Structure 1
Amino acid sequence: MAGYTAYNLRIILILTLGSLTFGYAYSVISGTLGQPGFLDYFNLRNDESHTQAITGTINGLVCAGAVFGSLAVGWMCDARGRKETLYLTCVVNIFGEALQAGSVNLGMFLAARFIGGWGIGMAVVLIPLYQAEICKLLQQTMPPPSARGFLVGQHGTFAIFGYAIAGWVGVGAYYSTNLAFQWRFPIAVAFPGYLNHLAGDEAWAIVSRLHGGDQDEDSLLFAREEFYQMAQQVQADNAAWISGGYHRQIFTKPSYRKRIWMGFFIQYAAQSTGAQVIYVYIISLYQNLGLTGGIPLVLGAAYVTVATLSNFTGALLLDKIGRKPLFREIFPTHIRPQGVAWSLVGTFLSTLVYVEAAPTALANIKWGYYIIFIGLTLINIVILYLWCPEAWAKCTDFFSKTKGLSLEEINEKFGDEVVVHLTNATDKQLEDLAHTIQAEQDEKIAMDHSHHEKTGVSGAQTV
């Protein structure tokens, strides 16, 4: 039986640290906008209309940068692979955070916000993408059921935990007498997190170690079967990718286009609830209610602390009730980077509009701005009902049926071909698969041996 190892948990913790760092970097500006040192340094106290415009721009630029960062990841994952993309993501984020923390004027800070947003867009696509693919390796074919939903759900939990940490760091910094420290230090705290993603392993080494290496014969056999499934599916997907015309097929092939639409619209609709606007400007919201001093920052931090607990609870329930929120499982391997990227574009484009307009809108129409989000949410529900009527009838059934399936096997629910089935395979099918894998390994060993006899160099030395 495939089981859990300390290495499993270490991998997940490393990946969730990326989620936490992303959440922190994305949300720290909420508290920054309430720091007297920040407002004084950039002269954002005297002219209310100017302050509203600059505040909207500060938040809008990070979303604009994130749009480009999201699309860049979709391309680079194919061009250079996930490991190099992860390295570049870390570098861009460190550079963006350093520029923000060290800004000497408003122009520099605004430019740094765009660069930081670019890095955030890369991270928010890559981290859950990588998480889903690593967590896929933890699925089990026998009870207890897979915990992939719980583990992938930790992206959201740790991202919101990053929000909470940013909130409480902002509370502490508020009481510093050093006005520069008040806003520079909280931004700089994000640096170390990105330094923990600069290591990686080869595919087979990861798969084998995730299943306990050679310590357990059953685990090793399971790892071999999963590796074979992934290798065969990748070959088939690559052939389909080439024959289908590369990137343009994500918009021309109906099953892919439906996935892209589903991911984009769901992400847009989630932001159209106004949740991000509430959090980004939560300090101003409490100040407008008459609260002063550090109280607004404390309440803002408490708000996201409660949200962290809610996210964790939701992650616990994913494997019990299905994975409706995990729409990133819906893309086949060869279009997954582009699919996740375009989904997150829906997040950042809508957020850009909402947070850019928020300061002016809240100052002029006040609570009426939130009525807009109520209206948008109602409209989105109607669109889903009319445009995708089958979704209402099939949603629960579809996501419950994906429970325990590998990411390759989920593709079959969208009409794609799955080369190798593992989850629901019969004993005879698994036995035949084991013979096939063994035969291929024997053939490879024979070829390596023949090569060694001819050249005097072992296969291991030629790798």
Structure 2
Amino acid sequence: MSRYVPNLYNFWIVIFVALGSAACAYSIAVIGSTTGQPSFYRSLGLAMQGEPGYSRTNHLIGAFNGVNSAGAALGAIQSAWLMERYSRKYTIQFGALIQIIGGALCAGSINVGMFLAGRFIVGWAIGILYTAIPVYQSEMSTPATRGFMVSMHGIMIAIGYLLSSWIGFGVYFITANGSDSSFPWRFPISFQIVPAILLLVGSPRLPFSPRWLVQKGRDDHTISNREFDQIRQQTEADLAVKEHTTWYELVRTPGNRKRALIAVFLFWGNQMTGNLVIANYGTIIFASLGMTGYMPLLLLALWIVVSVGGNTICALFLDRFGRRNFMLVGIAGMFAALLGECITQAVSVNNDPNSNIPGKRAAAFFLFLWIAFYSSCQDGTQYVYLAEIYPNYLRGQGTAFGIFNLFIASIVVLVAAPTAFSTIGWRFFIVFIVPTFFYFWIVYFMFPETRLKSLEEIAELFSESVAVHLDEANAEDEKTEGVSMTENVSVSKDGATTKQETV
């Protein structure tokens, strides 16, 4: 079997486009550090914890996340049409532009309504970029390195969270020193447009997705090696059956129904482990453990540092050990961490911040244990897996459907979380423990392994035909040429593909 290895240029393409991933993650996470800034509450006329009217603040904090997720759900669905009609590249550019507009509106907000509108627009951009970026990355990757390449999406998401948490921690001390300036929350909010601007400015030099070009009949720009011969033949076979793809196609065949169920379980399952709740309300959770002053912000920032390390581990080893194995280990670890968190909070959290300090420290430990498993096994893997399981002609709509489920699930958990934490406290973690238990068994019995298969060959896992196998194409070529070759596939700067063969 020939080994396909992307050159350095392909890798930098994947990294550069993931600036959009960092921008999106920063935008999602920034509300977590923002709610730890006293000046934010004063600027928008909101009551702080312990003040009269804080119940309204709780509802609005949930709304800030809810409208963001609602916009993201809309953007995810819209991106399917944009990617097929205008290309993955132009869709990413459009998402970056919307991100800049929404971020600027949030940073300049003078009332709650304006901030809510900005959060919705930012969410719209997030849905577009969260869908288009992993699709583009997967289609620019080879079978042997696809896990690593698409995991850059997860790593840059973690870096976006990291930037948000540490910037929020740094500017906290401006308010802590007695300043009434709104800079401690306006600057972090506005920073989300920086990676989006970099992406938009540099994106004209990005090549188009080879598979999108083939699908549009522009294969003369791309077909120059065996893998792309396979892409062309599989695309022709797909289009012969499906000349016009509709949303109904997502559930029309048994294979596609299985894909749709996997997409639903994948993202609802991950959201019901509590990932966005802990990330977005981390300062509130750490404060409930008796942390005061800057400590909740600092612990949240350190928590995100663990996430970056975990996503890096995922990128390095996902192709070696497989998607399914990573997910099963991650879910089992998260279940244990959630169980430990629930028990330690139950016995240690009360109105006295100085009581049962060891128990509260143990609760903090389990939060860090949880993110270690989630980031190393689940975070990047979910985007790799979703982008892999759909055939070329349905990848845009299938990925959009999965990301849509991600943000619908986010609305459910994020809107409820502030009120739930203030009313039922540690019992809210039970809501995550039970689904996580069932999620493990769903993955065990339902999710096939996709490691080292080309995007075209994965169709066989869903009982569908493959026009030509990459191994067979290579063997036939080697038989015809009478030589054995190793091939490096790369995408050149003008969008064409090249190959280098060694006898």
Tell me the equivalent position of 2:18: 16
* Residue of structure 2 in register with 1:353 after alignment: 412
1:113-152 to 2 correspondences below 5 Å: 113-136=119-142, 139=143, 146-152=144-150
**From 24, 27, 32, the counterpart of 1:25:** 27
Q: Deviation of residue 239 (structure 1)?
A: 2.5
1:424 and 1:21, CA in 2 relative to 1: closer, same or farther beyond 3 A?
A: farther
Alpha-carbon separation, structure 2, partners of 1:4 and 1:133: 12
Secondary structure of 2:451's aligned partner: coil
- CA drift of 1:205 comes to 12
CA pair 7-302 structure 1, distance change in 2 beyond 3 A: same
Q: Is the 8 A contact 1:265 1:343 kept in 2?
A: no
Instruction: State the partner residue of 1:215.
Output: none
Match for 1:190 among 183, 192, 195? Answer: 192
Q: Distance in 2 between matches of 1:296 and 1:161?
A: 19
Tell me if structure 2 keeps the 8 A contact 1:422–1:430: no
Counterpart CA distance in 2 for 1:248 and 1:151 is: 30
Question: 1 CA distance for matches of 2:294 and 2:146?
Answer: 40
Is residue 273 of structure 1 aligned with residue 273 of structure 2? yes
Please identify, of 55-64 and 417-426, the stretch whose mean Cα deviation from structure 2 is larger.
417-426
CA deviation map 1:111-164 (0-9, x unaligned)? 11111111111111111111111123xx4xxxxxx2221221121122112101
Match among 171, 174, 181 for residue 172 of structure 2: 174
Quick one: which amino acid aligns to residue 84 of structure 2? D
For 1:241, the equivalent position in structure 2 comes to 242
Describe the SS at the equivalent of 2:425: coil
Greater mean alpha carbon deviation, residues 126-135 or residues 369-378: 369-378
1:422 corresponds to 2:470: yes
Q: How does 1:345-424 map to 2 (within 5 A)?
A: 345-381=404-440, 384=442, 392=444, 395=447, 398-399=448-449, 402-423=450-471
How has the CA–CA distance of structure 1 residues 393 and 206 changed in structure 2, closer, same or farther, with 3 Å as cutoff?
closer
Of stretches 81-90 and 365-374 in structure 1, the one that deviates more from structure 2 is 81-90
Question: Shift of the alpha carbon at 1:421?
Answer: 2.0
Q: What percent of counterpart residues are identical?
A: 35
Q: Distance in 2 between matches of 1:116 and 1:309?
A: 27
Counterpart of 1:159? 157
In the alignment, the residues of structure 2 paired with residue 233 and residue 178 of structure 1 have an alpha-carbon distance, to the nearest angstrom, of 62
Query: Which residue type is aligned with residue 357 of structure 1?
Result: A
Q: Which moved more, 1:74-83 or 1:113-122?
A: 74-83
Equivalent position of 1:251 in the other structure:
251
SS at the partner of 1:407?
A: coil
CA gap 1:362/1:79 in 2 versus in 1, 3 angstroms: same
TM-score when normalising by structure 2: 0.75
Shift in alpha-carbon separation, 1:237–1:295, aligned structure 2, 3 A: same
Counterpart among 330, 333, 355 of residue 389 in structure 2: 330
Q: How many residues are treated as equivalent by the alignment? A: 402
User: Does the CA contact (< 8 Å) of 2:139 and 2:209 recur in 1?
Assistant: no
For residue 22 of structure 1, give the secondary structure of its aligned residue in structure 2: helix
Deviation at 1:323? 2.2
Amino acid at match of 2:397: Q
Asked if 1 retains the 8 angstrom alpha-carbon contact of 2:10 and 2:140, the reply is: no
- The aligned runs of 1:39-50 (5 Å cut-off) are 39-45=41-47, 46=51, 47-50=53-56
Check whether the contact 2:135–2:399 (CA below 8 A) recurs between aligned residues.
yes
Which residue number corresponds to residue 366 of structure 2? none
Q: CA deviation at 1:18?
A: 2.3
CA RMSD of aligned residues (A): 2.6
Matches within 5 A, 1:284-363: 284-324=284-324, 325=381, 326-328=384-386, 329-363=388-422
TM-superposed CA distance for 1:235, in Å, is 2.4
The answer to whether structure 1 residue 107 and structure 2 residue 155 are counterparts is no
CA distance in 2, matches of 1:246, 1:39: 46
Which amino acid in the other structure matches residue 396 of structure 2? P
Contact 1:406-1:423 at 8 Å conserved across structures: no
| One-letter amino acid matched to 1:105 | N
Contact 1:264–1:345 (8 Å) recurs in 2 = no
Report runs of 4+ in structure 1 exceeding 6 Å deviation. 204-207
Return the letter of the residue paired with 2:466: V
**Paired position in structure 1 for 2:261:** 261
Task: Name the CA distance, whole Å, in 2 between partners of 1:253 and 1:4.
Answer: 34
Q: In the alignment, does 2:90 pair up with 1:84? A: yes
Specify the SS of the correspondent of 1:345. Answer: helix
What is the TM-score of this pair, normalised by structure 1?
0.81
1:242 partner SS = coil
| Deviation for aligned residue 1:202 | 4.5
| Preserved CA contact (<8 Å) 1:229 1:420 | yes
Structure 1 gaps of 5+ residues are: 140-145, 208-220, 385-390, 435-463
Partner residue in 2 for 1:451: none
Letter in 2 for 1:404: L
C-alpha separation in 1, matches of 2:279 and 2:445: 33
Structure 2 equivalent of residue 210 of structure 1: none
